[in-house]
């Protein structure tokens, strides 16, 4: 058996040991190894090597393979575990996958997946973490979620070649679930139907091809709008647009050219203002709400206004709220200020209507200080200007501020967005 082990080790290019165990009155020999080829492949090696060992029946030889926790996770990730599964299913699938995979034939030692494996262990506590714990975490966030986390954590430090290697799987649409694909097909069919009309020749291939061409814009425009909205928030938070373009695998100028600069700046200005002043804004808004609830009947008796106030308090009062959650609050503030002004106007009319003839006209009704402060901040929001340089200079350029901009306060941190080239 030890001769067979040496011959198999030579063929498989790994360390193989012969061992035995007693089963009743009989003794069974095993070939055992760590990681390496699958049992099926080692059996083929054993059958070929057994020809050089007289009197050996390979059918009586057992095979034991010991896989490290790291290799178990690698086998799971290689099989793309993007499916909803329970704990028992995870364990069963991991054993099934690792039994069928040969290392390094199916997963080379230099495969980038190993970096993802090590990253998954780091997320779950380090190299000594059990495969069970890592697989449970990966099954929860899905393989694409793990890749996203890995991409985000190395986005600034990886060299371009490595970054591109990690970005490729994230740009693939292969991760769409069948349910999502079916929904997409259904939406596409509805768009095609609407664009084709109900004419007698709506099924004419020429009509369908024309409708499909028009459907392209209907499908891509919502995505473009969403990407633009997210880009504006990223720019306001300090990510240069050229850098954002680079991060998604495009040239530095791709996103700069994708959207009209003037329109982008116009939409960026109020978002950048909220980003810079969100703490002060939330405090002023909450104070104004308290003043409204105490002094204005319209707020107490109008259910729509009361619901708006409660929703605003729920958002503004959260300690863990991020600045993006405040982006819709200026329009809410505008509505509440208008409601307060209407309430004051009605009170003013009532005073004029019921005051005595010889009574002095005391028309001193006005918004309280908290509401006035909120109105002042809302005016600042409306008058906000985009950052003078949307994110500072590009790495290949030096900032050259205009003469009329020197010494002025910026509406956003210098790192806010992207260089205008």
Domain of 46, CATH number, reads: 3.30.70
CA distances in angstroms from 64 to 126, 161, 408, listed in the order given: 27, 39, 74
H or E, element range at 19: strand 17-23
Residue with tokens 């099989």: 79
For residue 304, count other CB atoms closer than 10 A to its CB: 9
24 and 100, same structural domain?
Answer: no
271 and 372, same structural domain?
Answer: yes
Q: Is residue 359 a contact partner of residue 385, using CB atoms and an 8 Å limit?
A: no
Task: State pTM to two decimals.
Answer: 0.73
Tokens of 92: 């069963």
> How high is the pLDDT of residue 270?
96
47 and 74, same structural domain?
Answer: no
376 and 272, same structural domain?
Answer: yes
| 228 belongs to a structural domain | no
Question: Taking the chain (421 residues) in consecutive chunks of 10 residues, what is each chunk's mean pLDDT?
Answer: 91 92 84 94 92 85 93 87 56 81 93 94 95 90 89 78 77 81 94 93 93 93 95 92 89 91 94 95 94 76 84 88 93 91 80 60 69 95 80 40 36 39 36
Sheet holding 26-34, edge to edge: 17-23, 26-34, 62-66
| 98 belongs to a structural domain | yes
139 and 109, same structural domain?
Answer: yes
Radius of gyration of the chain (CA): 34
| 201 belongs to a structural domain | no
Tokens of 163: 């970054």
Q: What whole-number distance in Å separates Cα of residue 30 and Cα of residue 63?
A: 5
86 and 21, same structural domain?
Answer: no
111 and 61, same structural domain?
Answer: no
Which residue in 119, 81, 79 sits closest to 100, CA to CA? 79
**Three-class SS of residue 64?**
strand
What is the extent of the structural domain holding 302? 261-355+363-384
163 and 100, same structural domain?
Answer: yes
H or E, element range at 361: none
Angle, CA of 303, 304 and 306, to the nearest 5°: 60
> How high is the pLDDT of residue 411?
37
109 and 121, same structural domain?
Answer: yes
| 101 belongs to a structural domain | yes
97 and 147, same structural domain?
Answer: yes
**Domain's final residue, options 172, 203, 233:** 172
Q: What whole-number distance in Å separates Cα of residue 289 and Cα of residue 270?
A: 22
| 62 belongs to a structural domain | yes
> How high is the pLDDT of residue 409?
37
Q: Rounded to a whole number, what is the distance in angstroms from the first to the last CA of the chain?
A: 73
> How high is the pLDDT of residue 412?
40
Q: Is residue 63 a contact partner of residue 39, using CB atoms and an 8 Å limit?
A: yes
For residue 132, count other CB atoms closer than 10 A to its CB: 15
> How high is the pLDDT of residue 301?
73
> How high is the pLDDT of residue 402?
36
> How high is the pLDDT of residue 389?
54
Q: Is residue 333 a contact partner of residue 288, using CB atoms and an 8 Å limit?
A: yes
Q: What whole-number distance in Å separates Cα of residue 82 and Cα of residue 193?
A: 33
93 and 127, same structural domain?
Answer: yes
Question: How many independent structural domains does the chain possess?
Answer: 3
**Domain's final residue, options 15, 48, 66:** 66
Q: Is residue 74 a contact partner of residue 37, using CB atoms and an 8 Å limit?
A: no
**Domain's final residue, options 155, 172, 189:** 172
| 205 belongs to a structural domain | no
87 and 33, same structural domain?
Answer: no
| 11 belongs to a structural domain | yes
Which residue in 241, 285, 246, 252 sits closest to 386, CA to CA? 241
| 337 belongs to a structural domain | yes
């Amino acid at each position: 058996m030890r001769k067979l082990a040496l011959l198999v080790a030579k063929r498989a290019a790994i360390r193989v040991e012969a061992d035995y165990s007693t089963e009743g009155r009989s003794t069974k020999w095993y070939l055992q190894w760590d990681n390496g080829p699958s049992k099926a492949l080692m059996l083929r090696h054993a059958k070929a090597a057994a020809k050089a060992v007289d009197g050996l029946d390979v059918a009586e030889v057992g095979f034991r393979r010991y896989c490290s926790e790291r290799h178990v996770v690698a086998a799971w990730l290689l099989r793309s575990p993007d499916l909803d599964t329970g704990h028992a299913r995870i364990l069963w699938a991991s054993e099934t996958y690792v039994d069928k995979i040969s290392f390094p034939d199916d997963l080379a030692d230099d495969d980038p997946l190993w970096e993802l494996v090590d990253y998954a262990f780091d997320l779950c506590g380090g190299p000594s973490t059990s495969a069970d714990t890592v697989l449970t975490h990966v099954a929860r966030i899905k393989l694409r979620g793990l890749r996203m986390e890995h991409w985000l954590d190395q986005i600034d430090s990886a060299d371009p070649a490595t970054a591109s290697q990690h970005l490729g799987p994230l740009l693939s649409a292969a991760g769409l679930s069948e349910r999502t694909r079916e929904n997409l097909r259904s939406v596409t069919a509805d768009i095609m139907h609407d664009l084709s009309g109900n004419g007698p020749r709506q099924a004419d291939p020429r009509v369908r091809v024309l409708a499909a061409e028009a459907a392209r814009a209907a499908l891509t425009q919502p995505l473009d709008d969403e990407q633009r909205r997210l880009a504006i928030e990223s720019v306001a938070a300090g990510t240069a647009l050229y850098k954002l373009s680079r991060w998604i695998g495009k040239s530095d100028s791709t996103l700069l050219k994708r959207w009209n600069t003037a329109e982008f700046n116009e939409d960026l200005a109020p978002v950048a203002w909220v980003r810079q002043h969100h703490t002060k804004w939330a405090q002023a808004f909450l104070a104004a709400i308290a003043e409204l609830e105490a002094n204005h009947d319209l707020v107490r008796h109008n259910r729509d206004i009361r619901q708006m106030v409660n929703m605003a308090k729920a958002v503004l009062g959260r300690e863990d709220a991020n600045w993006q959650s405040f982006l819709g609050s200026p329009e809410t503030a505008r509505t509440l200020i208008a409601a307060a002004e209407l309430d004051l106007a009605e009170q003013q009319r009532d005073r004029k209507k019921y005051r005595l003839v010889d009574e002095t006209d005391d028309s001193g009704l006005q918004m309280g200080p908290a509401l006035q402060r909120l109105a002042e901040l809302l005016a600042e929001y409306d008058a906000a200007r985009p950052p003078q340089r949307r994110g500072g200079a590009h790495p290949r350029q030096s900032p050259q501020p205009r003469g009329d901009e020197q010494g002025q306060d910026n509406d956003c941190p210098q790192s806010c967005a992207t260089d205008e080239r």
